[in-house]
Amino acid sequence: MNFLAKSVNIARTCIASSIQGSQSSLTKFYGSNYVQGSILNAARICMNTTLQGISQIRPCSILWKLHKAGPRKKVKRRKNPLDGNPFMKGIVLKTVIKKPKKPNSANRKCVIVRLSNGKEMTAYVPGIGHNLQEHNIVLCRVGRLQDTPGVKIKCVRGKYDLPHVIKST
């Protein structure tokens, strides 16, 4: 039973018995013989028992904290690797060849890029063939490779030091 309802029931019993003047019912309820049936003494005893009932509930218990705070909200991580920008300029640090995940087998041509915000990320170079070297400048856009882990951005062909794909006729 809720402690508030319990204290209300005790107060109701105390007041009813004090109005009737029945000392024996108060004595058996509280175990004290000094109650004379006065309303003030009965109210004082009722308040003491109510405070004892409240003090039995631990205010720092885990269930109480969960009740007061409510459910925890999950913090969603930002999935955009370029901090909300659609494009970002970067400098090529190194060219690497990445291996894709299981069913795919072709090697992916990638570059490690230091972006203008200071992050170093792996960027995919789309198309057939490229001439990127260290210290080249590329424009990167958001777009991950589904089959290659860790590659979340792509280089834009035809901008800065990365030329368009040469058509073979």
Architecture of domain 87-160: Beta Barrel (2.40)
pLDDT, position 49: 67
Local structure of residue 148 (DSSP, 8 states): S
Q: Which residues pair with 88 in a beta bridge?
A: 140
In this structure, the dihedral spanned by the alpha carbons of residues 9, 14, 20 and 22, taken in order and rounded to 10 degrees, is 120
Instruction: Give one DSSP letter per residue of 90-140, joined into a string.
Output: EEEEEEEEE---TT--SPEEEEEEEETTS-EEEEE--SS-----TT-EEEE
CA distance 114 to 45: 75
List the chain residues with pLDDT less than 70.
1-38, 46-47, 49-60
Residue 59 one-letter amino acid: P
pLDDT, position 118: 93
pTM as predicted:
0.56
Local structure of residue 79 (DSSP, 8 states): -
Delimit the domains of the chain by residue range: 87-160
pLDDT, position 103: 92
pLDDT, position 109: 95
